[in-house]
Structure 1
Amino acid sequence: MRRSLPRSPPLPFSFAISSPSYTANSSGPSLTHLSICCQRLVNSCLSLSHSRSLLYQISGSSPRSSARNFPPTQAMSNAGGLQDDVLAKAHVPQATVQGTSKETRGSFDVTAAAAPPLEDNYYDSKSDDDYEDKPTEEELSTLRRVSGPIHWGIYTIAFAELCERFSYYGSSVLYTNFVMRPLPPGSTTGATYGADIPAGALGMGQRASQGVSLVNQFWAYLVPLFGGWLADSKLGRYKVIHIAIAVSTVAHIILTVAAAPSVISKGKVAFAPFFLGLFILCCGTGLFKANISPLLAEQNKDTRMRVETRKGERVIVDPAVTNTRIFLWFYFAINCGAVSGQISMVFVEKYHSFWLAFLLPTILFLICPVKFVHMSKFAAKRSGGITKLNWENAKPSNVPVAERPNWLTYDDAWVDEVRRGLKACKVFLFLPIFFLAYNQMTNNLTSQAGSMVLGGAPNDVIQNLNPLSIIIMIPILDHVVYPGFRKMGFNFTPIKRMTTGFFFAAAAMVAATVMQHYVYQMSPCGDLATICEEGPAPINVWAQCLPYVFVGLAEIFTNVTSYEYAFSKAPENMKSLVMSVNLAMSAVSAAIGQAWTPLSEDPLLVWNYASVAIIAFLGGVAFWFCFKHLDREEDELNQLKKTKFLGSNQPTAAAQDDQVAQTHVSEKV
């Protein structure tokens, strides 16, 4: 129902003159009449110059835009333009404005009053919009849910991510041997042709290499917090991704220089440029990771559930199912890049040199900017919005119209989305426990492989069993397991999937504990197997399959789902920021993991794996009991009405204000 503004009695002029001898109704000398005429003339001119602002007042459009169009010292009004309460307050000696006593003699400061509000239906979003193919409650509980189509831009972005992951993992897989082990006898490049002799360069020991691995993970997943803020509040995701590519390119070049024969021949002196390159690469990776997955998921054209008939069966096309598939195949691309980079670079490291092993990822990484330039005209590039939370713990529709301040420009839906986003961030607080188990794979399990029979394989190639298992399992889960669950009527929700991942992570650490026990039992050096020079334990290195495969399954259920959860639960203008909070949990885990560093050497490695297994299991149990209530709210959270508020810092915010105002004016006219 359209709201009409009550008419006020016409005023002779806009200025309320405080002197009793110069009021509108006085019959003073001619000077008075001349003053009145001048004031009327000034009022007419000012009214014309501010006609656009008055249209905003009449239409009840954005308070922000209205306040912006009135100068702070404005002292005129239009009898038919401003609301009655504003006019009344303008012509009384004392006026209480938004709870503040303000003397208004002679003029009225429009910006001090409550801004003319938008229509209440702009703010109120207690129920979602009705649309023709919206599923009913009965259909939601009975019909099978299927995925919508996947836009081709998703595959393009996923390929760029594959190249970036090839370069990152192809470089980071070299860190352990580069730092831990010394140059092999007679080698100037770090390479070795001995079947069971790993490559090496700096010879700083296992504790130093574990510390480097944790620092690498900490910074690579802490920087996304800055990357998410930068994209959401300043530059937008697309620009930040290009900055990340430039930063990472510089880092790869520095790492290549640090591994040059003339540099590593000087021993630990090479650690300084190596660590500088590592740190800069972490910065580039963090900027990239915070924005690539939201950019990918934004290519999904499905935004709400709808009922369709496919092959004679009525089904629900669920955007949540589409997002699940998108992030599964996104993680598939990540692990394709990881496994190809890690397998190829460890052989280059072992049989040629470290410098070439760092150079090749740099070359492949340069494909990223080419792919993004190619798709720039087609991919959906949503700019970020404001991240400064001018947010009261109340919805605008519950605030009386006359008391709404100028800055209250968001709607009820945005409040709901922020609440939902905060719930997601609570879920992420358990992820550091999961990553404690995952982090064992990056260094300690690699060292464990070095104390086993390698059979000519590099010790750091075995960890590729993890991405290989992911590459194999993702198509099976996407095409067989998940659809099978949906046909059975079992809703394998994100909370259930993440809980399952915790238990697989615990099982992986149990397998690693048993493996380390037998390494100590069978090694010629007993519980000093890692540094044993008499030979490896007579156990084939491929016996490590079980912990790597279990960690891979844990990643699919927990890590992939956390990406999906971060995107689907974040407010529209804070996607990158919430995703960066998710990624930052890995940095928190790396910091916590420093407490396990003293256990990361002989003879304490059994206790290292066993303690992490116990913590991962208990973490999974606690996770389920803390968040099982969100499991029941999944559909409700996914079907929240989308906000119209995108933030005042967003490049298109002003244009949207104009569009809203014009819509209101046209409706009233």
Structure 2
Amino acid sequence: MASTQLGGAQIAADGLVGQVEYIQHEKDAGNKIDSLPEPFSHVNDETVKVDTQVEDWHFPTEEEQRTLRRVPERIPIAAFAVGFCEFAERFSYYGVTQVFTSFITYKRPEFNRAGASGDRPNVHSGALGKGQQAANGLTTFNTFWVYCTPLLGAYIADEYIGRFNTIVLAVFIALIGHVLLIIAAIPSVLDDINGAYACFIIAIVVMGLGTGMFKSNCSVLIVDQMRIKTQTVAVLKTGERVIIDPSLTIARIYMWFYMLINLGSLAGQLGMIYAVRRIGYWFAYMLPTIVFALCIPVLLFGRNYYIRYPPQGSVISRAGKVWKYALKQQWSWNPTTWKKLCTSPTFWEVAKPSNVPASERPAWMTYQDVWVDELSRGIKACSIFFLLPIYFLCYNQISGTLLQQAGQLNFGTSPQELVSQLDPIFIIVFIPVFTFLLYPYLERRRIPFTPIKRITVGFFVASIAMIWSAVVQHYIYESTGCGKYVGSANHIDADTGRDCESVTSNINVWVQSGSYVFVAFSELFASVTSLEVAVLMAPKNMKSIVMAISVFTSAIAAAIQEAFNPLAKNPNFVINYGVFAGMAFAGGILFYALFRGIDKRQEELNLIGNTPDDFDDDSKPQFKVIDGESKAAEERPTEKPKAGEPQA
């Protein structure tokens, strides 16, 4: 590790080197470099000078790891610009999907061709009249499709055109889907129910393709805007010495990112449920389309300001070759021995170039040793996602069966979807609480609330939400003469003699509040953290792919939910919620039992690829003091890596 002396304090170069390499990379790529944020204003845009008043700036020692407070860096403006695009996309996506259930389930009111119910109490807005099961099936398919397509978007980005260009392509594809949704909801088109139904299905397929491609890349592009790439000791203006920790920066970025997601979803959902009730579905599909189109000028204007990393070529195939090579080297005809070797902590060591004689190295083995460690960590991250579909089974209820439950309650003249807005509202309220109070408090107290612990808590809180939903559903069934067929056609209310399709419980719809509040808390622990894990633990040139795998867990949940579709109707709703509550509780226990080993090694895993020893001394600049200034004595090699070659 290269180091020098400045003012009697030893300075390891890496804290600066991480910035120098970043600056050089951006110059090579032709990107504009912004000034570093506070508390790094004493480093100029070229990152080759250090203010002599700064005592030290270096990778933390073991003692500093134990004693110094950790803080995130200030989030740059470019990250918020990317976040605006996510806001607009979530406004559009949740705005239209919020009204999918009523659009599919209920028939058009006789008094309004656009499907609006106006001010009439307990009258449903509707369009296609296909029923509860069809609505649940299509909304579940939409969820499945939207969370499958990120894999394609990630592959295109990492292998061919990069994240930014993939996002631009995704916006145009999704806009086509939005336009088709508007066409399906035009009153004259709705006169032909089958034609409108076909157009609607095509629309969600096209829109889902664009949405998925957008999702897996926008959530990584925002983290690409980070400037501090390694743990770095710095002195704040207050004189306090702290560790700038990229893992905390990532956690904070995703808290704000999730805030923007929920601001978008709240605005979209709240606006569209009233747009449907007052005007009709065509208008509720048109407004989100207009908002989503705002992504285009934001992306085009900021294209020269965003930090954009080029695609790395055949990284995925290379990762497969590394895994295959490691398996082959550990092969044994004894199944017990082979299993033991494959699960050994040293499994990946045989695939490191330093452990393979030069004469025996395959032509594709051009990466550094540290990349193998990053790949191993990325696979651990993907294994963490294995149980997340159980969590998302609970989460997905807020856009499906819980909306149907609201239609069985007394919602008066308000839209039946109104209470569901408590989910984004509570997330928006509590993100600052978590960001500025809870997590800093735990950090000050040296209480490690690691990603594994947070996701585990998310499972348990989701289970509580489903228990609440089951109890509410039980009392709905007990409150009318329809029993377990409230809201179902071809059943007669024993109390009033009315068809149960038009019967609602006298229980106020706001009794659902508990379900949405607990789901919101579970998202802050589980869903947000899964994004953090995907970026934190993925190899640097496979972040979009690992993020897509994280997102894909929602698609798996949707596929599993299709198997439970027979429970998503009367008279089985209580069983539906009870089953998901039990699965989430058991899933939380199993999750922590399987991954507590990763929990104990989280700090060690975070540092892979982010320590001074992970850089080749021949490729990093050396710093020395010249007349009171630190200047680069040796320039970074300008030779660019070969396409497809993983870099540490």
TM-score range, shorter chain: 0.7 to 0.9
C-alpha contact (below 8 Å) 1:525/1:534 kept by paired residues: no
Matches within 5 A, 1:367-386: 367-385=294-312, 386=315
Which residue of the other structure, out of 173, 182, 188, is the alignment partner of 2:107?
182
Residue identity in the other structure for 2:266: V
- Quote the offset at 1:603 in angstroms: 1.0
- TM-score relative to the length of structure 2: 0.79
| Alpha-carbon spacing, 1:297–1:186, altered in 2? closer, same or farther (3 Å) | same
C-alpha contact (below 8 Å) 2:458/2:523 kept by paired residues: yes
Paired residue for 2:602? Answer: 634
Paired residue for 1:583? Answer: 551
- Quote the offset at 1:654 in angstroms: 11
Which residue of the other structure, out of 372, 385, 391, is the alignment partner of 1:415?
372
Matches within 5 A, 1:335-414: 335-385=262-312, 386-389=315-318, 390-391=321-322, 392-393=325-326, 394-414=351-371
Q: Partners of 2:563 and 2:127 in 1: how far apart?
A: 26
1:315 equivalent in alignment to 2:242: yes
1:257 equivalent in alignment to 2:183: yes
- Quote the offset at 1:268 in angstroms: 3.1
Matches within 5 A, 1:244-643: 244-310=170-236, 311-385=238-312, 386-389=315-318, 390-391=321-322, 392-393=325-326, 394-531=351-488, 532-533=500-501, 535-641=503-609
SS of residue in 1 equivalent to 2:317: coil
Matches within 5 A, 1:160-239: 160-193=85-118, 194-239=120-165
1:159 equivalent in alignment to 2:89: no
Matches within 5 A, 1:16-55: none
C-alpha contact (below 8 Å) 1:146/1:318 kept by paired residues: yes
My pick for the range that moved more, 270-279 or 390-399, is 390-399
- Quote the offset at 1:524 in angstroms: 3.3
| Alpha-carbon spacing, 1:175–1:498, altered in 2? closer, same or farther (3 Å) | same
SS of residue in 2 equivalent to 1:387: helix
SS of residue in 1 equivalent to 2:243: strand
- Quote the offset at 1:634 in angstroms: 1.1
- Quote the offset at 1:529 in angstroms: 1.4
Kindly provide the CA deviation profile for residues 25-80 of structure 1, in whole angstroms up to 9, marking residues without a partner as x: xxxxxxxxxxxxxxxxxxxxxxxxxxxxxxxxxxxxxxxxxxxxxxxxxxxxxxxx
Q: Partners of 1:506 and 1:366 in 2: how far apart?
A: 38
- TM-score relative to the length of structure 1: 0.76
Paired residue for 2:22? Answer: none
- Quote the offset at 1:316 in angstroms: 1.7
Kindly provide the CA deviation profile for residues 139-169 of structure 1, in whole angstroms up to 9, marking residues without a partner as x: 2223221111111101111011100110111
Kindly provide the CA deviation profile for residues 506-535 of structure 1, in whole angstroms up to 9, marking residues without a partner as x: 010011011101111112311111332463
- Quote the offset at 1:415 in angstroms: 0.5
Paired residue for 1:656? Answer: 640
Kindly provide the CA deviation profile for residues 473-498 of structure 1, in whole angstroms up to 9, marking residues without a partner as x: 10111011111111111011111111
Matches within 5 A, 1:4-83: none
Residue identity in the other structure for 2:243: I
Identity of aligned residues (%): 40
Q: Partners of 1:174 and 1:657 in 2: how far apart?
A: 49
SS of residue in 1 equivalent to 2:171: helix
Residue identity in the other structure for 1:348: A
Residue identity in the other structure for 2:640: Q
Kindly provide the CA deviation profile for residues 580-618 of structure 1, in whole angstroms up to 9, marking residues without a partner as x: 001111101100001111011111100000000000000
Residue identity in the other structure for 2:377: R
Q: Partners of 2:88 and 2:436 in 1: how far apart?
A: 25
C-alpha contact (below 8 Å) 1:214/1:590 kept by paired residues: yes
My pick for the range that moved more, 265-274 or 345-354, is 265-274
Paired residue for 1:112? Answer: none
Q: Partners of 1:156 and 1:480 in 2: how far apart?
A: 25
Residue identity in the other structure for 2:267: S
Q: Partners of 2:194 and 2:566 in 1: how far apart?
A: 22
Paired residue for 2:40? Answer: none
C-alpha contact (below 8 Å) 2:487/2:502 kept by paired residues: no
The structure with more radius of gyration: 1
SS of residue in 1 equivalent to 2:487: helix
Residue identity in the other structure for 1:136: T
Residue identity in the other structure for 2:60: P
- Quote the offset at 1:658 in angstroms: 8.1
- Quote the offset at 1:132 in angstroms: 5.2
Residue identity in the other structure for 1:558: A
Paired residue for 2:72? Answer: 147
C-alpha contact (below 8 Å) 1:524/1:534 kept by paired residues: no
Q: Partners of 1:350 and 1:607 in 2: how far apart?
A: 31
Residue identity in the other structure for 1:387: I
- Quote the offset at 1:621 in angstroms: 0.5
| Alpha-carbon spacing, 1:254–1:658, altered in 2? closer, same or farther (3 Å) | closer
C-alpha contact (below 8 Å) 1:524/1:536 kept by paired residues: no
My pick for the range that moved more, 226-235 or 401-410, is 401-410
Paired residue for 1:68? Answer: none
Kindly provide the CA deviation profile for residues 242-298 of structure 1, in whole angstroms up to 9, marking residues without a partner as x: 110010111111000000001112223311000000110000001000100110001
SS of residue in 1 equivalent to 2:507: strand
Q: Partners of 2:130 and 2:62 in 1: how far apart?
A: 63
Paired residue for 1:80? Answer: none
Residue identity in the other structure for 2:75: I
- Quote the offset at 1:644 in angstroms: 7.6
- Quote the offset at 1:384 in angstroms: 2.3
Q: Partners of 2:159 and 2:596 in 1: how far apart?
A: 33
C-alpha contact (below 8 Å) 2:143/2:555 kept by paired residues: yes
Residue identity in the other structure for 2:94: Y
Stretches of structure 1 lacking an aligned partner (at least 5 in a row) = 2-130, 646-652, 660-669
Residue identity in the other structure for 1:379: Y
Residue identity in the other structure for 1:165: R
- Quote the offset at 1:655 in angstroms: 4.8
Q: Partners of 2:165 and 2:239 in 1: how far apart?
A: 45
- Quote the offset at 1:374 in angstroms: 1.3
Residue identity in the other structure for 2:456: T
SS of residue in 1 equivalent to 2:235: strand
| Alpha-carbon spacing, 1:260–1:396, altered in 2? closer, same or farther (3 Å) | same
Q: Partners of 2:638 and 2:471 in 1: how far apart?
A: 62
My pick for the range that moved more, 404-413 or 497-506, is 404-413
Moved over 4 A (4+): 642-645
Q: Partners of 1:644 and 1:372 in 2: how far apart?
A: 33
SS of residue in 2 equivalent to 1:304: coil
- Quote the offset at 1:184 in angstroms: 0.9
Q: Partners of 2:421 and 2:642 in 1: how far apart?
A: 54
Q: Partners of 1:657 and 1:453 in 2: how far apart?
A: 64
Q: Partners of 1:505 and 1:657 in 2: how far apart?
A: 46
C-alpha contact (below 8 Å) 2:487/2:503 kept by paired residues: no
Q: Partners of 1:289 and 1:597 in 2: how far apart?
A: 26
Q: Partners of 2:642 and 2:221 in 1: how far apart?
A: 27
SS of residue in 2 equivalent to 1:459: coil
- Matched pairs, number: 523
